[in-house]
Amino acid sequence: MKIGILTSGGDCPGLNAVIRGAVLKGIAIHGHEFVGFLDGWRGVVEGDVIDIPRTMVRGIAKQGGTILGTSRTNPFENGGGPDVIKAHMERLGIDAIIAIGGEGTLAAAKRLTDAGLKIVGVPKTVDNDLDATDYTFGFDTAVQIATEAIDRLRTTGESHHRCMIAEVMGRHVGWIALHAGMAAGAHAILIPEQKVSIEQITEWVKEAHHRGRAPLVVVAEGFVPEHMETPHSERGIDTFGRPRLGGIADQLAPELEARTGIETRATILGHIQRGGVPSAFDRVLATRLGMAAIDSVVEGYWGTMVALKGTDIEHVGFQEALGKLKTVPQNRYDEAAVLFG
């Protein structure tokens, strides 16, 4: 069997480990052949592929990013669609596709599967927001990167007696903010799931300052303060029609400084959280998911993705995977909030 692999959407640490796990098991156990679609769905729509021999995946588990490149191409636009993709697969002799990506990638994979293509998915999102899997690779690395960066912000904040605001990724959910904030000892954690007033944030900052601390606030990019209706976005929309978020920390900093009289600085970590080498946890998880994706192909589990349930890898349908976001539950936020202020 000849299998095509693609990585689509935002990059994150662990993508190469998935590719390696799939290719090594596919070749060693089943004798499959592999090609890689270049730059995500763009390569699928245009039939742009490269061969992936065993030698190509040697030692790549520790590398960040993706050796195949990625993009946010919509496979149903710009000359794409099921018929075009089927024609490319027949011409290239590709029997099935392993699509590695997040919500947008898997939604496109579901539509193409419904149209008759043979596709299985591997979930990828640093936000850890897919409800059908307990953890996604890239999340653990992003939390570690964010925690280290926030630790560095704390030392300069304490030196200058400033309030420091760190903005981390988190479009719809606050898992990175929650974990990194708790790990770094933040005095306030602001996430999309919780509406919090400026007055309450100000109170937490003042309480920390009155105890002689340099206040530390961690905010997810998708956080919506009580006085706002939608997340802060000033950079337009992406190819899937979603607003490009970022900058809420820059909005909060002058407001908190005006209300508290404490010099306040904002830092947006942005794509730093996606870069660099994956953590050991993410390397292992990504490798296991890649190997399990081969099982999905062999068993013909089209229209499913592999998922971590506890410590086991399971197969779940795209419909289940896309039906609900995994948000931070109230009890987890309440647990962290005990430490605020």
Across the beta sheet with 264-268, the strand order is: 188-190, 216-220, 163-168, 264-268
CA distances from 181 to 39, 72, 148, 337 (A): 33, 29, 11, 11
Name which of 212, 221, 119 is nearest 175 in CA terms: 221
Q: Say if residues 13 and 276 touch (Cβ distance below 8 Å).
A: yes
CA–CA distance, 113 with 111 (Å, rounded to integer): 5
> CA angle at residue 5 from 49 to 124, to 5 degrees?
135
Chain centroid to Cα 294, Å, comes to: 22
What is the rounded CA–CA span in Å between residue 184 and residue 193?
20
Question: Which one from 11, 39, 127, 140 is the annotated catalytic residue?
Answer: 127
Separation of alpha carbons 276 and 62, rounded Å? 9
Ramachandran class of 213: left when φ > 0, alpha when ψ lies in -120 to 50, beta otherwise: beta
Annotation says 127 is catalytic: yes
Say if residue 40 is exposed, middle or buried (CB neighbours under 10 Å; 0-12, 13-18, 19+): buried
Residues annotated catalytic, as ranges? 127
